[in-house]
Amino acid sequence: MEDIRNFSFEELVEKFKKLGHQEFRVRQLFKWLYDKCCTDFSLMTDISKQFRIFLSENYEINRLEVVDTLQSEDGTIKFLFKTQFGDYVESVLIPIDGRITACLSSQIGCAMGCVFCNTGDRGFERNLDTWEILAQLIEMVIFSNQKPSNIVFMGMGEPLANYNNVVKAIKILENKYGFGYSPRKITLSTSGYADKIEQLGKDVSVKLAVSLNAVTDSVRDKIMPINKKYPLKTLMASLKKYPLMKDEEITIAYVLIEGLNDSPEDAKKLVELLKGLTVKVNLIAYNCWGDRDFKTPSMAKILAFQKVLKEQGIMTFIRDSKGADIMAACGQLRGEYEKKVS
Ligand code: SF4
């Protein structure tokens, strides 16, 4: 049997219609599954008993098992979930400016191989199903008893490399009978999967963040291998075509690495590269981990980089890596617990 959360609202309406059930059944079901985060058909009390039996005989609602949590000093909570297949998914709840943001994973491991990233270092294992993406949020709501205000696809994996499952999850997150998230509350972060960026803009409304991290192809090729497939020119062209919501911009994430991409000249090239785009730039100091040679730049260098961008009218922020003390910071999600619990 398949998990019912692998189906979109429209797909369920279509399926049930053929069996003589009306659309309001799916509305009821979505309310239970997502608004109430219910994981048991038998508890959906305003749905007729007969229909509940039909659901339980034909579909499953699986759980992700919370095997560990870790709370950071800044309030960030990292979750380690065990899937039905015995592998592990990590998700994070991050408190920022009075809001709670849920950071979801889209894959187990990642094939993109960004050299500054802990997840990329372990290689690709598999795509997560739509229900496994949604269940991360559902389990975090059940655990913390609060619904996050924002969702970011910034956990393990390149979301656009698991395109169909991620897009379906976004549609369900935005469905008014379920979670009901506004498109402005959901951000998808990509390493620069240019052809899928264009497609994404056609299929759903969602805020876009791009992990850029270099201003020349030679440097980007070195630190983000996806650049060999989609070089900067191609990537920038795809961003220009991405449909922005009113008063929104594309977020450009730029991890500053000492001596590699953090000079004022790099900042000037970045200004050139971003011409014609509506963006804000988040500067993030590289988080040292493992045996990488990369180093974190000084705050003076970060401020000098920011100054060049700001002088050219580009909104530029220096971001903390929330949860850095529990390895939950961007680019540092890794199955550390797998070792612990295996
Ligand atoms: S930064 Fe993102 S895209 Fe790059 S390897 Fe890590 S998880 Fe994958």
**One-letter amino acid of 148:** P
Under 8 Å between Cβ of 93 and 36:
no
120 vs 15, more confident: 15
Q: State mean pLDDT over 120-131.
A: 90
One of 37, 114, 117, 330 is an active-site residue; which one?
330
Residue from 107, 116, 117, 189 whose mutation best tests the ligand 1 pocket (most atoms within 8 A of CB): 117
pLDDT in tens, 273-324: 999 999 999 999 987 665 578 899 999 999 999 999 999 999 999 987 665 5
**What residue segments make up the domains of the chain, in order of their start?**
2-60, 65-341
Under 8 Å between Cβ of 269 and 227:
no
pLDDT in tens, 273-287: 999 999 999 999 987
Nearest residue (CA) to ligand 1, atom 5: 120
Q: Is the CB–ligand 1 distance for residue 212 below 6 Å?
A: no
Say what the pTM is.
0.93
CA proximity to 36, closest of 155, 182, 201, 177: 177
State the fold for domain 2-60: DNA polymerase; domain 1 (1.10.150)
pLDDT in tens, 153-169: 999 999 999 999 999 99
One of 90, 139, 174, 336 is an active-site residue; which one?
90
Query: Does the annotation count 37 as an active-site position?
Result: no
Strands (E), the chain: 2-3, 59-60, 65-71, 77-82, 88-96, 99-103, 107-109, 124-127, 150-153, 186-190, 207-211, 250-256, 279-285, 315-319
Yes or no: domain 65-341 corresponds to CATH 3.20.20.70 = yes
Query: Is residue 334 pLDDT above 70, yes or no?
Result: no
Q: Is the CB–ligand 1 distance for residue 331 below 6 Å?
A: yes
Ligand 1: centre distance to CA 51 (Å)? 42
Q: Is the CB–ligand 1 distance for residue 112 below 6 Å?
A: yes
Residue from 104, 191, 210, 213 whose mutation best tests the ligand 1 pocket (most atoms within 8 A of CB): 191
Q: Is the dihedral of CA 335, 336, 337, 340 positive or negative?
A: positive
Tell me how far apart the alpha carbons of residues 220 and 226 are, in angstroms, rounded to a whole number. 9
DSSP-assigned beta bridge partners for residue 127: 107
Running DSSP on this structure, what letter comes out for residue 327? T
